């Protein structure tokens, strides 16, 4: 089972407590009615569990058992439900009107209705990636399905989707962990929400670790390149026979650095006898670079 299958199974198993939420869930499941000839509607599902939930809900909501036709090969089966109901047809037409307001058309009447509608729409057309791989939630609506009402619903819920043309339809999608987490939570898949939260935390930790490692690497690089320049300067001074002519303090520092090419500044400070401050050391190293430049 894919990750999205697990999410679908979780969503299908959520009990529906109120008639208003059942109405909203049913309307969501009808988000991708493919054809409507006369007053006969056909809606296609790709998953048996979803088709069976829709059959049950449509029968309860509109008092008629839809006809089921199964096509396709195993692994890519299609479950087409065909039914006719004047009330359902009326709702279908209103959903396609410009500026259709899902909340008003379906008649949301409790706090859970919005989530129930989203759950239906996700079951009908949605997919979600394993959050450990990538954050991606998408509703894929086949050609011929009016997307405006669904886009309006998602935007009014605070999550305007991005849309993309796909083979055979339009995808409404989200790629940020926050939206994916919120929408899955709103649809009611709490178990999946925990998985998304966990993977977001893991990602944050990994990013911070990478940042820290990069920072350490950069510091090491800086130290090495400074030490290399100092070693080159000291070598040049030695080869030119200028080292002995330098003041005692500079000569001591040059020799300490020469004998400890890998030492950090703090280590060089501790290697000086008599003791020296870090700024004093910096000053001397800078002076050595200048002396070498004059050669
Ligand atoms: Zn409700």
Q: What is the full per-residue pLDDT of the chain (295 aa) written as tens digits?
A: 789 999 999 999 999 989 999 999 999 999 888 777 777 899 999 999 999 999 999 999 988 899 999 999 877 899 999 998 888 888 988 998 888 999 999 999 999 999 999 999 999 999 999 988 889 999 999 888 888 999 999 999 999 999 999 988 999 999 998 999 999 999 999 888 888 888 888 888 888 888 888 888 888 888 788 888 999 999 999 888 888 888 989 999 999 998 888 888 889 999 998 889 999 999 999 999 999 988 8
- Shared-domain flag, residues 140 and 256: no
Contact 48, 76 (CB under 8 A): no
The Å distance, Cα 278 to ligand 1 centre, comes to 70
- Dihedral class, residue 5 (left if φ above 0, else alpha if ψ from -120 to 50, else beta): alpha
Burial classification of residue 247, based on how many CB atoms lie within 10 Å of its CB (0-12 exposed, 13-18 middle, 19 or more buried) = exposed
Q: Would you say residue 208 lies in a domain?
A: no
Q: Would you say residue 160 lies in a domain?
A: yes
Task: Tell me the residue ranges of DSSP E strands in 54-180.
Answer: 67-71, 78-84, 126-128, 137-142, 162-166, 169-174
- Shared-domain flag, residues 156 and 243: no
The Å distance, Cα 242 to ligand 1 centre, comes to 89
φ and ψ at residue 35, rounded to 5 degrees:
-135, 150
- Shared-domain flag, residues 45 and 90: yes
- Shared-domain flag, residues 11 and 127: yes
Q: Which structural domain range is residue 254 located in?
A: 221-294
Nearest-angstrom CA–CA distance, 267 and 269: 5
**Residue 263, C-beta contacts closer than 8 angstroms, at least 6 positions apart:** 227, 257, 271
The Å distance, Cα 119 to ligand 1 centre, comes to 12
The Å distance, Cα 13 to ligand 1 centre, comes to 17
The Å distance, Cα 105 to ligand 1 centre, comes to 14
The Å distance, Cα 186 to ligand 1 centre, comes to 13
Contact 20, 110 (CB under 8 A): yes
Q: What's the total number of domains in the chain?
A: 2
The Å distance, Cα 112 to ligand 1 centre, comes to 5
């Amino acid at each position: 089972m894919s990750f999205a299958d697990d999410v679908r199974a979780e969503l299908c198993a959520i009990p529906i407590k109120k008639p208003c939420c059942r109405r909203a869930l049913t309307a969501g499941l009808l988000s991708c009615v493919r054809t409507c000839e006369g007053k006969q509607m056909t809606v296609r599902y790709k998953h048996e569990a979803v088709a069976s939930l829709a059959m049950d809900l449509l029968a309860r909501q509109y008092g008629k058992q839809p006809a089921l036709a199964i096509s396709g090969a195993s692994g890519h089966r299609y479950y087409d439900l065909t039914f006719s109901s004047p009330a359902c047809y009326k709702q279908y037409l209103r959903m396609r009107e410009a500026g259709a307001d899902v909340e008003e058309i379906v008649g949301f009447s409790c706090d859970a209705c919005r989530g129930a509608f989203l759950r239906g729409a996700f079951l009908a057309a949605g997919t979600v990636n394993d959050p450990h791989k990538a954050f991606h939630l998408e509703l894929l609506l086949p050609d011929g399905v009016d997307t405006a009402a669904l886009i309006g619903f998602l935007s009014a819920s605070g999550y305007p989707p991005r849309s993309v043309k796909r083979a055979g339809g339009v995808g409404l999608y989200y790629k940020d962990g926050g939206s994916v987490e919120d929408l899955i939570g709103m649809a009611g898949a709490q178990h999946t929400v925990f998985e998304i939260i966990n993977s977001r935390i893991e990602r944050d930790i990994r990013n911070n670790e990478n940042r820290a490692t990069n920072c350490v690497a950069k510091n090491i690089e800086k130290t090495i390149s400074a030490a290399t320049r100092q070693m080159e300067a000291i070598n040049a001074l030695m080869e030119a026979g200028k080292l002995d002519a330098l003041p005692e303090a500079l000569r001591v520092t040059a020799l300490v650095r020469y004998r400890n090419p890998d030492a950090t500044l703090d280590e060089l400070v501790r290697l000086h006898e008599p003791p020296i401050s870090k700024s004093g050391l910096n000053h001397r190293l800078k002076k050595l670079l200048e002396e070498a430049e004059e050669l």
